[in-house]
């Protein structure tokens, strides 16, 4: 099918260019007219790929992707905030994306927006176009856009996305700030272990061998570990890399993703934060869709895709089956074991009073506050564990280093008492 290059004018008078695939010029004119554009020129372009085609492969393309400018979370937040403003103002989607493309400084995001705009011109949905750029728009983002398109509430979903992205960016920043000190301490401790094992401990071992003293058990363990790493460090790192690769491939499977999404919510300290964030997403998205008047089954089907957790999403899908049989929401939520009693009680109250969306909003706000509180107290939760682990490590290290010295002194003392001569 031939490719046609076009130049069009949007309703605000802006000039847009691109390519479309079609049988003839008349087909291209009809498609542009449906999109609200006035054609200026349309001509067949031989040897040109259609807009939105997958980028060509090759070494140069791979290198370009590898060294491409990274899109930061703040870039995505700013794009989403500006996009919702333009979209709510009534600007056509293609014109809004073209305007944002001209305003964006991040080259990687600019290129992605260009491909998204071309995909939209080719008839793709916004969620489908964004799904081609997972490094920029993650699964939660794409599924939220899809829910907004399907439910006809894209403006509301975009507003929720801005709030969600801002909230998660803030949480991520606070978590990294809380972990900065523990990470520095662990690195410093690891450096001390390497220096002592490589330069101090061998001298003590030589002296122990000369005087015939006994090597303490902690010292033997540290020596064995040091020698093992010295001779087999390459195999160790390859094994770690292999396990990491297999784990990554496992997570790419359906069962692996389900297992990990369920398991990570049970990780001490961090799992509780992730769990509360997931419940907040569920409540916020469900409230948004329910407020628009969508049937509850339709809302649940859309919400299940936007939680960012396959395990919780599966529980929401099961809720749909129970609701379809006329059981309501509260009872199956209680039986699922996924939702805490407070959420179940709030939903039950909402069903009885006819104010489900208001109850869901309160649940979302409650868990947002809980997450903020947990993150702010993250340092105080980590410090006791860090002190316990590092304290044990320091005690072991002191025993492993000091014990040989004491053993040598004890041998010298025995020789003196036995009339021996202390070596100079």
pLDDT reading at 57 higher than 50: no
Q: Of the candidates 107, 160, 163, 164, which has an alpha carbon nearest to the alpha carbon of residue 136?
A: 107
Q: What is the tens place of the pLDDT at every residue in 224-235?
A: 877 787 788 889
DSSP E strand stretches across 48-112 = none
pLDDT reading at 95 higher than 90: no
- Note the pLDDT of residue 373: 85
Give the list of residues 6+ apart from residue 307 with CB closer than 8 angstroms, or none. Answer: 140, 278, 281, 282, 285, 313, 316
Residues of the chain above pLDDT 90, percent = 7
Q: What is the tens place of the pLDDT at every residue in 216-255?
A: 777 778 778 777 877 888 898 899 999 999 999 998 898 9
DSSP of 109-130: HHHHHHHHHHHHHTT--HHHHH
DSSP 8-state secondary structure symbol assigned to residue 268: T
Could you tell me the pLDDT band of residue 380, with boundaries at 50, 70 and 90? confident
- Alpha-carbon distance 86 to 328, whole Å? 39
Backbone angles phi and psi of 284, in degrees to 5: -70, -45
Over range 171-191, report the average pLDDT: 80
Could you tell me the pLDDT band of residue 40, with boundaries at 50, 70 and 90? confident
Over range 315-324, report the average pLDDT: 84
Could you tell me the pLDDT band of residue 60, with boundaries at 50, 70 and 90? very low
Over range 246-269, report the average pLDDT: 90
pLDDT reading at 419 higher than 60: no
| 315, two tokens | 């529980």
pLDDT reading at 11 higher than 70: no
Over range 371-380, report the average pLDDT: 79
Whether domain 69-137 has CATH 1.20.81.30: yes
Higher-scoring residue by pLDDT: 209, 133? 133
Class of domain 264-376 (CATH, top level) = mainly alpha
- Note the pLDDT of residue 65: 45
Could you tell me the pLDDT band of residue 98, with boundaries at 50, 70 and 90? confident
Over range 337-364, report the average pLDDT: 88
* Cα separations in angstroms, 59 against 47, 50, 56, 62, 133: 22, 22, 10, 5, 20
């Amino acid at each position: 099918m031939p490719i046609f290059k076009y130049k069009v004018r949007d309703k605000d008078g802006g000039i847009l260019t691109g390519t479309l695939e079609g049988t003839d010029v008349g087909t291209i004119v009809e498609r542009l007219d449906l999109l609200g554009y006035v054609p200026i020129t349309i001509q067949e372009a031989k040897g040109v790929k259609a807009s939105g085609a997958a980028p060509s492969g090759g070494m140069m393309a791979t290198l370009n992707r590898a060294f491409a400018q990274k899109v930061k979370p703040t870039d995505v937040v700013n794009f989403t905030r500006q996009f919702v403003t333009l979209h709510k103002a009534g600007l056509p989607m293609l014109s809004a994306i073209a305007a944002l493309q001209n305003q964006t400084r991040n080259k990687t995001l600019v290129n992605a927006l260009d491909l998204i705009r071309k995909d939209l011109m080719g008839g793709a949905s916004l969620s489908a176009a964004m799904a081609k750029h997972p490094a920029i728009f993650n699964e939660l983002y794409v599924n939220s856009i899809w829910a907004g398109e399907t439910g006809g509430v894209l403006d509301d979903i975009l507003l929720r996305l801005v709030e969600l992205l801002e909230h998660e960016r803030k949480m991520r920043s606070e978590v990294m700030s809380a972990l900065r000190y523990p990470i520095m301490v662990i690195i410093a401790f690891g450096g001390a272990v390497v220096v002592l094992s490589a330069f101090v401990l061998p001298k003590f071992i030589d002296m122990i061998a000369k005087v015939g003293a006994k090597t303490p058990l902690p010292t033997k363990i540290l020596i064995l570990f040091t020698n093992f790493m010295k001779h087999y460090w390459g195999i160790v790192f390859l094994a770690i890399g292999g396990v990491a690769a297999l784990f990554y491939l496992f997570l790419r499977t359906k069962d692996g993703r389900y297992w990990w999404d369920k398991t990570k919510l049970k990780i001490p300290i961090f799992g509780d934060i992730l769990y509360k964030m997931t419940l907040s997403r569920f409540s916020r998205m469900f409230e948004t869709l329910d407020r628009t008047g969508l049937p509850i089954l339709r809302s649940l089907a859309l919400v299940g895709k936007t939680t960012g957790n396959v395990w919780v999403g599966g529980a929401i899908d099961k809720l749909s089956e129970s609701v379809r049989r006329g059981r309501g929401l509260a009872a199956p939520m209680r039986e699922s074991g996924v939702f805490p009693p407070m959420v179940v009680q709030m939903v039950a109250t909402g069903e009885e009073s006819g104010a489900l969306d208001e109850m869901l909003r309160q649940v979302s706000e409650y868990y947002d506050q809980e997450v903020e509180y947990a993150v702010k107290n993250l340092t105080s939760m980590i410090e006791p564990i860090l002190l316990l682990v590092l304290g044990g490590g320091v005690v072991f290290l002191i025993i492993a280093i000091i014990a040989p010295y004491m053993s040598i002194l004890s041998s010298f003392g025995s020789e003196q008492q036995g009339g021996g001569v202390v070596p100079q």
